[in-house]
Amino acid sequence: MIKSKEAREIVGSVREIVANVAPEAVEKVMYGGVVFELEDLTPKRLFCGAFVRKEYVTVEFDRGVELEDPKGFLEGAGRFRRHLKLYQLEDVQRKNLEWFIKQSLEL
pLDDT at position 1: 83
Q: Could you give the percent of the chain with pLDDT greater than 90? A: 92
pLDDT at position 11: 97
All domains of the chain in start order, with CATH: 4-106 (3.90.1150)
For the stretch 49-87, pLDDT in tens is 999 999 999 999 999 999 999 999 999 999 999 999 999
Banded model confidence at residue 19, pLDDT cuts 50, 70, 90: very high
Any idea what DSSP says for residue 41? Answer: S
* Residues contacting 55, CB < 8 A, separation 6+: 1, 2, 87
Q: With a threshold of 0.85, does the pTM exceed it?
A: yes
Count, residues in the chain: 107
pLDDT at position 72: 97
